[in-house]
């Protein structure tokens, strides 16, 4: 005989199943919705096209193997972390990507990397057979949880085979890059500098800029935008600003401000601190400067810029907060030709 409490438990309706696709563990994935009027059929169609075409994410600290100051998903091999743990962390990231990764080599300047040319160089270098992608990669599950059997990553590979970048193809130093072809996942490592991703709203190409104060002053965003426009012609662009140090944490002195043009030395971008307590100190607003540079280049649709690496200790590494610490990644890639994208899940905010 069933007890009353048992009957009550049996009669209780099951909680609705959340079938929403999940972003990769420990990552921020822009969905580009800020750039489109989704209440119109034209805007919704363009949004869906970019969501299917573009792969973009910024990783966070959780989900890796590193310990101590490098906890947990440190992806930099140059910060005295255990090499084996960094390798495991990079393998974790690699499992989320639609194509093999290529790590940018940064120098805080404004030199451009033509990632399409890198792909062509790799193809010329390797004359042998290419490696098949194999079955679609399954989404990673949080620690202690099993991945659902039907879950696939938002970056499910299209039908194009994968390539591995051979050791003979060297990635040049650069702080801006342009990518208009599928075939590689371009990785930029940062800790406080802003990663700025620029995209064509027709889904034809992406650019990325490493926008610390030196890069901003040197014109790294301008380099990335002009290269993308040169490649695509009359492109309507949008931009997304990833995690970086915020205006309440980025303290500078006059030597930094002097690198910027006069119109960018105002309180809108550099706010003076109390001179009686902090003489000769200002608080710089890198997201505002990056947004202004995008607007000056005719990019009115700018999203992101909401995450401070210095303050958010649980999610991000910060060089200013702790010099000996890890680096997180911002990754861009193109998933494939439009006709191969029917089963690709749209990105999740």
Looking at the domain assignment, is residue 227 inside a domain?
Answer: yes
| 240: CB partners within 8 A, 6+ apart | 30, 32, 56, 196, 197, 199, 302, 303, 304
Looking at the domain assignment, is residue 155 inside a domain?
Answer: yes
Looking at the domain assignment, is residue 221 inside a domain?
Answer: yes
Interval 28-70: pLDDT, tens: 999 899 999 999 999 999 999 999 999 999 999 999 999 999 9
Looking at the domain assignment, is residue 323 inside a domain?
Answer: yes
Interval 69-83: pLDDT, tens: 999 999 999 999 999
Alpha helices in the chain (DSSP H): 4-11, 41-53, 83-94, 115-125, 213-218, 220-232, 254-257, 286-296
Q: What are phi and psi of 276, to 5 degrees?
A: -75, -25
- At 230, list the tokens: 């040169």
We report the CATH number of the domain holding residue 34 as 3.60.140.10
> Would you state the pLDDT for residue 168?
54
Q: Evaluate if residue 151 carries a pLDDT over 70.
A: no
Which burial class, exposed, middle or buried, applies to 281 when counting CB atoms under 10 A from its CB (0-12, 13-18, 19+)? middle
DSSP 262-314: GGGSSTTTEEEP-TTTSTT-EEE-HHHHHHHHHHHTT---EEE---BTTT-TT
> Would you state the pLDDT for residue 138?
38
Give the DSSP H/E element, type plus range, for residue 28.
strand 27-28
- At 156, list the tokens: 């499910």
Preceding amide of 87 cis, omega within 30: no
Looking at the domain assignment, is residue 89 inside a domain?
Answer: yes
**What's the structural domain count of the chain?**
1
Q: Cα(317)–Cα(312) distance, rounded to whole angstroms?
A: 8
Q: Which domain does 130 fall in, by range?
A: 23-250+285-340
Looking at the domain assignment, is residue 267 inside a domain?
Answer: no
* Sheet hosting strand 251-252, strand order edge to edge: 251-252, 282-284, 270-272
Looking at the domain assignment, is residue 271 inside a domain?
Answer: no
Looking at the domain assignment, is residue 100 inside a domain?
Answer: yes
Give the count of beta carbons closer than 10 Å to the beta carbon of residue 61.
21
Q: How confident is the model at residue 216 (pLDDT cuts 50, 70, 90)?
A: very high
Q: How confident is the model at residue 170 (pLDDT cuts 50, 70, 90)?
A: confident
Q: Evaluate if residue 300 carries a pLDDT over 80.
A: yes
* Sheet hosting strand 176-179, strand order edge to edge: 112-114, 176-179, 206-211, 194-200, 237-241, 302-304
């Amino acid at each position: 005989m069933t007890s009353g409490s048992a009957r009550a438990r049996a009669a209780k309706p099951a909680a609705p199943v959340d079938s929403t696709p999940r972003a990769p563990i420990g990552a921020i994935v822009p969905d580009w919705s800020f750039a489109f009027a989704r209440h119109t059929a034209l805007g919704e169609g363009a949004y869906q096209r970019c969501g299917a075409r573009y792969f973009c994410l910024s990783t966070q600290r959780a989900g890796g193997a590193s310990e101590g100051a490098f906890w947990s998903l440190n992806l930099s091999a140059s910060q005295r972390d255990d090499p084996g743990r960094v390798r495991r962390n990079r393998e974790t990231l690699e499992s989320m990507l639609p194509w093999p990764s290529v790590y940018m080599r940064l120098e805080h300047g404004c030199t451009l990397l033509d990632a399409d040319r890198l792909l062509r160089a790799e193809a010329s270098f390797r004359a042998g057979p290419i490696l098949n992608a194999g079955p679609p990669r399954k989404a990673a599950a949080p620690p202690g949880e099993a991945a659902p059997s039907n879950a696939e990553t938002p970056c499910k590979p299209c039908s194009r085979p994968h390539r591995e970048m051979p050791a003979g193809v060297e990635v040049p130093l650069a702080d801006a890059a342009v990518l208009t072809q599928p075939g590689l996942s371009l990785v930029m490592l940062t800790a406080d500098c802003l990663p700025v991703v620029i995209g064509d709203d027709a889904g034809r190409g992406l650019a990325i800029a490493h926008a610390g104060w030196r890069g901003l002053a040197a014109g790294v965003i301008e380099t990335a935008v002009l290269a993308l426009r040169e490649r695509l012609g009359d492109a309507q662009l949008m931009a997304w600003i990833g995690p970086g140090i915020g205006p309440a944490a980025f303290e500078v002195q006059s030597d930094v401000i002097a690198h910027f043009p006069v119109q960018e030395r105002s309180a809108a971008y550099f706010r003076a601190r109390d001179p009686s307590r902090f003489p000769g100190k200002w608080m710089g607003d890198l997201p505002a400067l990056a947004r202004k540079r995008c607007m000056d280049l005719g990019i009115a649709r700018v999203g992101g810029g909401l995450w401070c690496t210095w303050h958010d200790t649980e999610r991000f590494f910060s060089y200013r907060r702790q010099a000996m610490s890890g680096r997180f990644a911002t990754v861009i890639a193109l998933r494939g030709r439009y006709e191969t994208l029917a089963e690709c899940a749209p990105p999740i905010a």
